[in-house]
Amino acid sequence: MLEVEHVSKNFGGLAALSDINISVAKGETVGIIGPNGAGKTTAFNIITGTLSPSKGRVLLNGRDITGLRPSDVVKLGLARTFQNATLYPDVNVAENIFRGTLWKLQRNTLLNMLPPTRQYLDKLAEKMQLVDEIIATLELEEYRNVIARELPYGIQKKVGVAIGLATSPEILLMDEPAAGLNSKESREFGRLISKIKQHYGLTVVLVEHHIALVREISSKIIVISQGSVIAEGVPNEVLNDRRVVESYLGGGGWHAEG
């Protein structure tokens, strides 16, 4: 479903990524781990169109999406959640999610000057149903009408995921979904990720420092260190790999929890 082929990224003289390859099959949950500064977020930014690679390409369902704008990548079925949930702070949870659904419904400027068509209104009604459904799946009912900036941190993170789901993605990239959560909240998040994955038939890729969470939910783990993929495979093998252990213990800046 997703192929990152021979991707490199240089920032001036710094090689943030050097010839990395990542392959994600439909239905997989792939955990990307590695020490601070390894290049994980840079890889996410290239996949989602926020950054262009210096070399290499990204394919989604066989289509070359390298260099497409993030808004076009979303329309092709790839959504992303951010480490610091990016919500609309002044509106409630339901409206935050509703705004997420509009990514795929944008009308052009000329159409906006005309009254909405029946077809457009039907689509809006469908999107409102989707909002209800996402609220139920993510167990957010009691927060439905709460203004986003007043939400507890853990709930803001859930709403960030809800906005991603609102674009009806086939594949969801999650940047440190458990950052800032305690072990109990992190386990709870893991349960929810598994739940939405099943419910929506999603493929999931997550960058995460909570190793216990990654081990629990990933079918495959990819380890990036100093801009290169140093190990890849099923969790137990990868987490016991000598190079991986050394890169974490000796790599500096590793702050895994669990």
Ligand X SMILES: Nc1ncnc2c1ncn2[C@@H]1O[C@H](COP(=O)(O)OP(=O)(O)OP(=O)(O)O)[C@@H](O)[C@H]1O
Residue 198 is a binding residue for ligand X (CB under 6 A): no
The answer to whether the beta carbons of residues 233 and 227 sit under 8 Å apart is no
Residue 177 is a binding residue for ligand X (CB under 6 A): no
Choices 8-16, 114-122, 139-147, 197-205; region in contact with ligand X by CB under 6 A: 8-16
Among 1, 24, 30, 34, binds ligand X (CB under 6 A): 34
Residue-wise DSSP of 40-68: HHHHHHHHTTSS--SEEEEEETTEE-TT-
- Total residues contacting ligand X by CB under 6 A comes to 11
Binding to ligand X, residues 36-55 (CB under 6 A): 36-42
Structure tokens that stand for 193 in this block: 């990720």
* Cα gap 4→46, rounded to integer Å: 9
| Amino acid (one-letter) located at 35 | P
Residue 70 is a binding residue for ligand X (CB under 6 A): no
Binding mask 148-167 for ligand X (x = CB under 6 A): --------------------
Give, in degrees to the nearest 5, the angle at Cα 197 between 135 and 169.
Answer: 75
Question: Least Å distance between CB 64 and ligand X?
Answer: 22
Shorter beta-carbon distance to ligand X: residue 135 or 214:
214
Question: Least Å distance between CB 172 and ligand X?
Answer: 18
CA 148 to chain centre: 20
Classify residue 88 by burial, with Cβ atoms within 10 Å: 0-12, 13-18, 19+: middle
* Cα gap 209→191, rounded to integer Å: 17
Choices 29-37, 73-81, 94-102, 237-245; region in contact with ligand X by CB under 6 A: 29-37
Shorter beta-carbon distance to ligand X: residue 13 or 115:
13
* Cα gap 225→37, rounded to integer Å: 8
Choices 32-40, 69-77, 140-148, 210-218; region in contact with ligand X by CB under 6 A: 32-40
> Which residues are at the interface with ligand X (CB under 6 A)?
11, 14, 16, 34, 36-42
